[in-house]
Structure formats: structure tokens, C-alpha cells
A and B are shown apart, each in its own frame.
Chain A
Amino acid sequence: MDWVLNLWFELPVLVQIGVKIVAIVAPLMVAVAYYTLAERKVIAYMHVRVGPNRVGPKGLLQPIADAVKLMFKEMIVPTHADRYLFIIAPVLALAPALGAWAVMPFTDTLVLADVNASLLYVLALTSMGVYGVVVAGWASNSKYAFLGAMRSAAQIVAYEIAMGFALVGVLMAAGSLNLREIVLAQSGGLHQWFFIPLFPLFLVYLISGVAETNRSPFDVAEGESEIVAGFHVDYSGMGFAVFFLAEYANMLLISGLTVLLFLGGWHPPAPVAPFTWIPDLFWFLGKLAVIAFLFLWFRATFPRYRYDQIMRLGWKVFIPVTLVWITVIGVAKFFTPIGHWFG
């Protein structure tokens, strides 16, 4: 085994980093592919249907078939579309969704880049995802796409503020901007996880996460019953596939961040025997899967919000809630006997 390690450290740093990136992105892409299948299956069972069951055993090869089909389809650029921006837009949507995974700590030691301000980095990168949607909507030169882009831009800007304030609460409680240290601050069992002292922020973060990823019930940017498919109505083939990848990679990212920030990351619910037998990585991935399931459950359950209701919820409900709770954290941390609970 030693010679493998020695060989590994002999490699140039760039090659090492490249291998690590592949080791994160490749499983992520597989996860995204099967997340789409999971979505169709879960929603189908909630609707008392069966879902895809034709390709492969129990429909397990369906995402592969979808990917192959999309890859071999022609990508049509509409007349009078801005050709370059039209092609760049899906890339702009996918790049931040993948880039943010660079600082995701899967366990205490398993992290590609353990940077100081990783929470800020994630926030900055996810805030760039909106460009994919806006540029796509504008470059398509189509009314429906443009309406979708406008809705998305206003919605994402609104919910980003609430999301940012929720993160401020977390970093106050943890006393660090480093995701790994935020998780370490929640060690010691279920009662130490931040979702208990920061419960309002947990809710705000989770719901804002659904809104940021343009998922149902906040999917007015796509709004297939009103504006066909919103910002990506004119995309076909690979362009559409990349938007699809970006959306699902973002959902997994938000799920992962929720787990890290509020649900104790890789920590088991209690640091005692039967729980600690399961490796840390599986705890993290298991919690991530639960939150990811919530995304699908929401879609099967809730009708779409009306646009003005979305705006009202973001600006008039979530932002005041987060502001109040940040004050509560500050006061509780320094002036009450339960301050240690808040980090």
C-alpha cells in the first residue's frame, strides 16, 4: 500500500488536484442522473402511478437512456438569438453548481479545499448561478424565455438575502466561516446540532434553498403551465441537458449545505456505540438523501405559488424573521446562561 501512497505524492500537485476533482464530480454526475430517476419514481408513487419501468430492470437504466437521447439530439439555435450567449448560458448555470462542491467537507478529513472562508465562497458561487438563467432567457430572443428570466432574476435576488442572513446566524453560532469548523462546532450529539437553537433560520434556509434552485412550489421561472418552460424553452439536446444537470446538482448542493450547517454534517445523532459503527461519510450522505427527498416531496405536494406571494414571502416574511433571530442569537450567546448552546 505504501508504494501507492508514495507514487501519489510524487505526482505533480495539479495532477493530484485533477484526480480529486474527478473523484468528486464523477460520483456527483451519477448521483444527479439517478436523482432524476428517483424524482420520477417518487412522484409517480405519490401520484399512485408506477413511473419509468421499461429501460433495464425496474427502469434503472432510464437516466442513461435519457442522457444518450439528449446527447444525440440536434441543438437548435433559434433565429435572431444571440448565438454565443445562447451557448454559454448553460455553462454559466452548471459551472457554479459544480464549483461550490470544491469546499464541501464530506467528512472531517475528506475535503478538496479546506479554505478559511468556505461559507462565503459557497454563497458567492451560488449567487452566480442566476446568470445562466438570465442570459439564457435573454439570448433565446423569445417572450416566454425572457419572462422566465425576469421572474428568476427577481426571485433569486430576493431569496438570496434571506439565505445570506440565515448563514449569518450559523456563522455567529459556530464562530467560523469554515464549513468544516461549523460542523465540528455541532459535535456531541443531536442536541448540539444547530437546527434546534436556529430553528427559524433552518426553515428559512431550507425554503430559500428550494426557491433558489427554482424548484416547485417556487418554479415560476419555468412555470410550464404559464410560460411553457420559461428560460430554457428554446433549448434542445445538450443545452437542455446541461441546464437539467445544473438544477439537480444545485439541489444536491443545497441539501448538502443544509446538512452541514444545521444537521450536524457527518456526526451521528449520538456519539455512542451503535451509531458510531456507521462511517461518517454514510451519515453525511444519508442526511443529504433525506433533504434531497424533501425536494421531491415538496414538488409532489404543493401547488405553485403565485408570483406576488413569492415576493411577499421572501421580502416581508423571511427577511424580518432572519433579522430578529440574528438578534436573538447575539443576545442569547452573550447574555444568557444557555449561551453555550448557541455555539
Chain B
Amino acid sequence: MHGQRIQPTDEQMSFLQIVFYIFAAILIGASIMVVTVRNPVRAALFLVLAFFNAACLWMTLEAEFLAIALVLVYVGAVMVLFLFVIMMLDIDIAQMRAGFTNYLPLGIIVASVMAGELILVMLSGEFGSAQMPRPGGHGETYSNTEALGQLIYTDYVFAFELAAIILLVAIIAAITLTLRRRPQTRYQAPEEQVRVRKQDRLRIVQLPSGKEDDA
């Protein structure tokens, strides 16, 4: 689908096309590996590779802000936390494979429904190089980041602010759900540690020496 969008008009286009096919091939290969590879850590790393190549594809469509944000947010933060969790799991691969035949029918049904839906959407006539021509033709001074910022903070400012508030609520909800104050846990209070003075902790006493006691 994407391949048709990039029409080779000159030498540069055909170079872009080569680049596109390289990234697309790696992207598809990595995506297949995500679902077929047995080791979950490797699967997560292939997902990272897939994200990275998707970002490269967006870059060829002059959407550099989205591309870099994808790398920054998904590759740089989300997937690191994912890996963090997956690495700590103690997964028994043999046990996981035991249920394979049981789940196979359900899996096939879900997969075929999803594939059918995708095919319906694709064939609906809403997609294709006619409906979505390759964006581009912008001059050298065009900045995708600036253009996006202009749109977000003018035309779509309410939608954008609303999304921000929803995310804020989600953050607060996540923190409240996981925050447990257990009375037996001892916390450090750095501000009290800083405020402490010598006379609060140290007491100098004059003890009579031992000899006089004996006498």
C-alpha cells in the first residue's frame, strides 16, 4: 500500500524508493519475528526494531516530528519499561507451549475476524494512492514540527487540552492505585535530615574518671 504512494519522478525518488523497500522489508521481518520468536525478551527487542523502522518510514514521508517522537517515546521509554518487566518474569517456555493446541481454535477465530475487518477497510475505496497521495513538495525551509505545533495550538487546541487532561487524570489514577502507605515501612525524610543540628543528636557529658570511682 505504502509502496504505491511513492512515485518515482526523478533520481531522488528512486533512491527514496530503495530506502523505503529496505526499511519496509526490515519492518515486516521484525514484526513477524515478534510473534514467532520464542524468547519474550528477543520478541520485545524485535518490536523495538519494528518501531525504529516504522519511524524511519515516517521520516521518508517528511513527518520527522512523529518519527522522532515515536523513537523517543516508544523506543526510548515505553519499551525500556516493557523489557524491564519481561526480563524479571520467570517464563517456562515448555509450559507456555503446552496450552498451544487448546488456544489454537480461539486464536484462529480472533485472527481471522481481525484479518477480515482489515480487508474490508482496505477494500472500501478509502485507501490508495489516489485518495492519499504522497505528501511532500515542501521547500527546504518547511518544518514539520512547526506546522504540527501551529495546528495543535490553534485549530485543535481544545481537543489537545482535553487529551492532556485525560492523560493527567490517568497519571493521578495510576499513582493512587499503586500508592500504598504501609505503617511498618520506614521512610527517609531528607528535609528533616538537613534541618538537624548538632545539639539535637550529640550530648557531651563529663564523666568522672574510673579511678575516683574505685576509691
Contact = CB atoms under 8 A, between A and B. Distances in A.
A29 interface: no
B64 A117 contact: yes
B84 A123 contact: no
Given A124-B68, A124-B71, A146-B87, A308 B80 contact: no
A130 interface: yes
Interface in A158-182: 160, 164, 177
Contacts of A128: 71, 75-76
Contacts of A124: 68, 71-72, 75-76
Contacts of A160: 76-77
B76 A116 contact: no
Contact of A120 (B42, B45, B68, B80): B68
A116 B81 CA distance: 29
B33 interface: no
A224 to B, nearest CB: 22
Contacts of B58: none
A153 interface: yes
Nearest to A149: B87
A308 B187 CA distance: 11
A308 B76 CA distance: 22
Interface string A97-129: 000000000000000000111001101110110
Contacts, number: 74
A120 B77 contact: no
A164 B77 CA distance: 12
Contacts of A149: 87
B83 interface: yes
Contact-residue bracket for chain B:
20 to 34
B83 A134 contact: yes
Contact-residue bracket for chain A:
20 to 34
Interface in B22-80: 39, 41-42, 45, 48, 64-65, 68-69, 71-72, 75-77, 80
Which of B76, B77, B143, B188 is the most central at the interface, judged by chain A CB atoms within 10 Å of its CB?
B76
B189 to A, nearest CB: 11
Given A124-B71, A128-B75, A116 B84 contact: no
Nearest to A171: B145
B137 interface: no
A76 interface: no
Contact of B80 (A123, A125, A134): A134
A32 B28 CA distance: 37
A131 B64 contact: no
Nearest to B87: A138
B76 A117 contact: no
A124 B84 CA distance: 19
Contacts of B144: 116-117
B210 interface: no
A115 B75 CA distance: 21
A312 B39 CA distance: 34
B80 A131 contact: yes
A261 interface: no
Nearest to A129: B76
A117 B68 contact: yes
Interface string A137-158: 0100000001001100110110
B41 A138 contact: yes
Which of B41, B72, B190 is the most central at the interface, judged by chain A CB atoms within 10 Å of its CB?
B72
B28 to A, nearest CB: 20
Contact of B143 (A82, A117, A121, A127): A117
A123 B188 CA distance: 33
Contacts of A177: 143, 145
A125 B190 CA distance: 35
A124 B145 CA distance: 15
B145 A85 contact: no
Contact of A153 (B75, B83, B188): B83
A120 B41 CA distance: 28
B132 to A, nearest CB: 24
Contacts of B83: 134, 138, 153
B77 A127 contact: yes
A130 B80 contact: yes
Nearest to A126: B76
B71 A116 contact: no
18 contacts: A85-B41, A116-B143, A116-B145, A117-B65, A120-B68, A120-B69, A120-B72, A120-B145, A124-B68, A127-B71, A128-B76, A131-B48, A134-B84, A134-B87, A149-B87, A153-B84, A157-B77, A157-B80
Given A127-B76, A153-B84, 10 more contacts: A115-B64, A117-B143, A117-B145, A123-B72, A127-B72, A130-B76, A131-B48, A138-B41, A138-B83, A177-B145
Interface of B: 39, 41-42, 45, 48, 64-65, 68-69, 71-72, 75-77, 80-81, 83-84, 87-88, 143-145, 188, 190
Closest 7 CB pairs of A and B: A127-B76, A124-B71, A124-B72, A120-B68, A116-B143, A124-B68, A153-B84
